[in-house]
Structures are given as C-alpha cells and as structure tokens.
A and B are shown apart, each in its own frame.
Chain A
Amino acid sequence: DADVTQTPRNRITKTGKRIMLECSQTKGHDRMYWYRQDPGLGLRLIYYSFDVKDINKGEISDGYSVSRQAQAKFSLSLESAIPNQTALYFCATSDSRGTYEQYFGPGTRLTVT
C-alpha cells in the first residue's frame, strides 16, 4: 500500500465551487506539505504543517486553506475555485527527526472550468 495517498486523483469542478483535496499518510511523519505543479513553474509550496497545531503559509497560499485533522491527515481546500487554480496538486511528508527529504503522494489533477 502507498505510504502517502491523495483523494481524489482527478477532479473537474466549476468556477466558484468549494473543493477539498485530502491527503493521508502511514509513514508516521510529523510534517506535511501541499504543493502545486504547473508546467514551467516547477513545484510551489502552498501550505505546510510541522505538527497538528502548527500550520504555515507557503509561497502561494492566497485562495487556499488547509486543515490538519490529525498527524496523518492534511487537507487542502479551495473555498471558491477559479480557472487559474487548474494544476497538479501534491501532498508530501517528512520526518523532523530525519534529513530534509520529502515523500510525495501520487497527486491530484484538478481542472476548474
């Protein structure tokens, strides 16, 4: 079974709709991250959480919110989706006791029409 799972894997939604992307991990890591990937722009950090009570904005948090429901669960919400939020979204985890490496989920492809 995958250590980091994301649901849904694909989603098409309309402008103005609220949508939630979910991430779960079985790695026992305390740190979790949400990134978006756009062609030519690489990975950009949206939000990150170093533990359940510690949530921080990344480079591009406007229009997004997150919730860390448990150590193993970190969800990303788009309160009112817009077309330029069409992208590939990745969740990642890391262990604060280890080195810097992060472990990624398979991604969610989101299309906002």
Chain B
Amino acid sequence: GNSVTQMEGPVTLSEEAFLTINCTYTATGYPSLFWYVQYPGEGLQLLLKATKADDKGSNKGFEATYRKETTSFHLEKGSVQVSDSAVYFCALGGYAGNNRKLIWGLGTSLAVNP
C-alpha cells in the first residue's frame, strides 16, 4: 500500500544553516507529493507540492523535487531563519481502497536558534 517515511526529529539548526528533511514514499502509480508546515499553535498549511516526476515545488525559499527513481521528495532550504521553526509533514496523495486520500508522514520538528 501507499506509505510515507520522513526523518525523525527534532532537528536543531543555527540561523542561516542549510536544511534538509528527508521524505521517501511507497506508492503505486504516480502520486502527488506535498509538504505541509505547522507553526506553533496553528493548523497545517500547504508549503509546496509536486504532481509529477521531476517537478520541483518551491515556496518561501523551500524546495523539493519529486524523484521517482529514488521515490523521494526531500525538503531543502538554503538558509533557515528562526521563523522557520515549525513541524514539517510530508504527504502523498494516493488511493486508500477506492478513495483518494492524503497519506501522512509522522512529521519532523525543526528548531532554529539565533
């Protein structure tokens, strides 16, 4: 079946460091892939998405490339800020039974120190 595995946190970085949060998936067919972000005390927000192989999603300085050959969708940012401290969720849009759903990773907590 469909599943998503993302790296465990917490991840702690200093401001301006490079960020990578790994996400790999198992799926049949050609799923859509998403990164969501949850800031403290808030609901989840869509950060970026990619709908087909080799697509690159980008937003707010974050990027992720849909790699079908490695079944990955790693999130990267070149220079993190304190305001990026949040929980990041990788998700796959696929079928569970006959229904289209999002399948979620467990989330990775990121703390950025000044």
Residues of chain A having any CB pair with chain B under 8 Å: 4, 40-43, 45, 48, 50, 56, 90, 92, 99-107
Minimum distance in angstroms from A73 CB to a CB of chain B: 17
Q: What residues of chain B lie closer than 8 Å to A56, measured between beta carbons?
A: 99
The interface-forming segment of B15-23, B38-46, B59-67, B68-76 is B38-46
User: Does A100 lie within 8 Å of B34, measured CB to CB?
Assistant: yes
User: Does B101 lie within 8 Å of A100, measured CB to CB?
Assistant: yes
Contact of B89 among A42, A50, A103 (CB under 8 A): A42
User: Does B43 lie within 8 Å of A101, measured CB to CB?
Assistant: no
Also in contact, A42 and B93, with CB within 8 A (given A90-B44, A104-B45, A107-B42): no
Please, which residue of chain A has its CB at the minimum distance from the CB of B6?
A42
Minimum distance in angstroms from B92 CB to a CB of chain A: 8
Most chain A beta-carbon contacts within 10 A, residue among B89, B104, B105: B104
Contact of A101 among B34, B42, B94, B105 (CB under 8 A): B34
Please, which residue of chain B has its CB at the minimum distance from the CB of A58?
B101
User: Does A106 lie within 8 Å of B42, measured CB to CB?
Assistant: yes
Q: What residues of chain B lie closer than 8 Å to A99, measured between beta carbons?
A: 32, 49, 51, 93
Please, which residue of chain B has its CB at the minimum distance from the CB of A9?
B41
User: Does B89 lie within 8 Å of A101, measured CB to CB?
Assistant: no
For residue B102, CB closer than 8 A to chain A, the reply is: yes
User: Does A90 lie within 8 Å of B49, measured CB to CB?
Assistant: no
